[in-house]
Amino acid sequence: MNGETSRRNFLLSGLAIPVALNSNASFLPQAEKTKATAALTYRPLGKTGLKPTSVGFGCMNVSDKSVVERAADLGINYFDTARVYQQGNNERMVGAALKPKRKNLIIATKTMSQTKEEALQHIDTSLKELGMDYVDIWHLHMKDKPADLKDELLEAQQIAKKAGKVRFLGVSTHQLPAIVDAVIQKAAHFDVILTQYNFSMDAAAMDAAIGSAAKAGLGIIAMKTMMGGPRMAGRGAQGAALKKEGAMLAALKWVLKNPNVHTTIPGITDMDQIDEDMRAFAESFTDSDQKILTAHLREIRPLYCSMCYKCEGKCPKGLPVADVLRYLAYAEGYGEFQLGRQNFLSLPAETRNVRCTSCTECTIKCPNGVRVAQRLAVAQELFA
């Protein structure tokens, strides 16, 4: 892998930690897994001086503290949470797991606040819940348009940084190409970008945006690496087969091919996922992985919105299509029903009350093949 500056051999046998070597080993009983030596890889996170492991840990859906602890024991050093995850409870669990190992870890959290005052309350709450004096990275969460980078939110970040509550400042986005120039213009303020990045997206546009940001000295962290969440791979018989064949691992390896991606935060919820993701440290992306991903994409394309926003503003009834489909993905892909519903219920009543089943024909033709009206109807039935 390019861009990696250091490696250390991690003697798993000494720590009694199994790592799978063959493509199906993570599905074998624990006793049958091969003990071996694995190398962790690190990449410099832009200009921050931090060196995260190339595979980090997205904590959004994990509720088992021992899973987080084990990842840290294995050497994964980058952990991502947010004030909003699990109705505010995720930070507390992550903090309980990682506080004893805090010194060697990079901890990131986020705020979805729209005001300076609320953002500053959020960072104080985040630190209290994590049980920590500071976080390494504090993101403004889900900023998809330049106008979302409001001065008062940037001011809140600076206040928190000056107070020693955060070390580096970040922004998370599902729309990097739309926002990257604005972030680069503020590169004296921002240190890192957390961006959606996976094999389903327009690779040319994404790679160009990521390349520009990396060139400007910004650290790049990839989220939604597994396109819609681990559970999307398990839908139906074909999906289950794809999961077994390693679609999730292939997706992670696809992201790591890009040397401008400095770390990744695949969502991890159990020990098997840790074992599987650990293999991405050592294995390269292969033709066989590409075949698996192509088949996987065919399977979930009608279900999964890649949030390209090409349909933005095209629903005559004003539905924010990509947002509602994302809420559905929280529920179906990540098993986070409450997060999905909470977001849906925060929409204005006139939007919440729209029913796609009352349209004779949907005006939105998704260029990526998502069955928009059908999927939105599922979300409306589920959340309203």
Residues in the site for ligand SF4, rule: CB under 6 A?
305-311, 315-317, 319, 321-322, 325, 354, 356, 359, 362-364, 366-368, 370, 372-373, 376
236-245 helix and 247-256 helix, angle to the nearest 10 degrees:
60
11 Cβ contact partners less than 8 Å away, ≥ 6 residues apart: 37
DSSP calls for 84-144: TGGGGTHHHHHHHHHGGGGGG-EEEEEE--SSHHHHHHHHHHHHHHHT-S-EEEEEEP---
The smaller minimum CB distance to ligand SF4, of residues 256 and 308, is found at: 308
Residue 307 token pair: 């949030």
* DSSP conformational letter for 3: T
**Closest distance to ligand SF4 from the beta carbon of 81 (Å):** 26
The smaller minimum CB distance to ligand SF4, of residues 206 and 305, is found at: 305
| Residue 320 and residue 326 in contact, taking contact as beta carbons nearer than 8 Å | no
The smaller minimum CB distance to ligand SF4, of residues 252 and 325, is found at: 325
Residue type at position 163: A
The smaller minimum CB distance to ligand SF4, of residues 38 and 376, is found at: 376
Question: How far apart are alpha carbons 103 and 134 in whole angstroms?
Answer: 11
**Closest distance to ligand SF4 from the beta carbon of 234 (Å):** 21
**Closest distance to ligand SF4 from the beta carbon of 359 (Å):** 3
The smaller minimum CB distance to ligand SF4, of residues 60 and 305, is found at: 305
Q: Is the dihedral of CA 199, 55, 205, 189 positive or negative?
A: positive
**Closest distance to ligand SF4 from the beta carbon of 349 (Å):** 15
Question: How far apart are alpha carbons 202 and 308 in whole angstroms?
Answer: 8
**Closest distance to ligand SF4 from the beta carbon of 309 (Å):** 5
**Closest distance to ligand SF4 from the beta carbon of 99 (Å):** 39
The smaller minimum CB distance to ligand SF4, of residues 138 and 199, is found at: 199
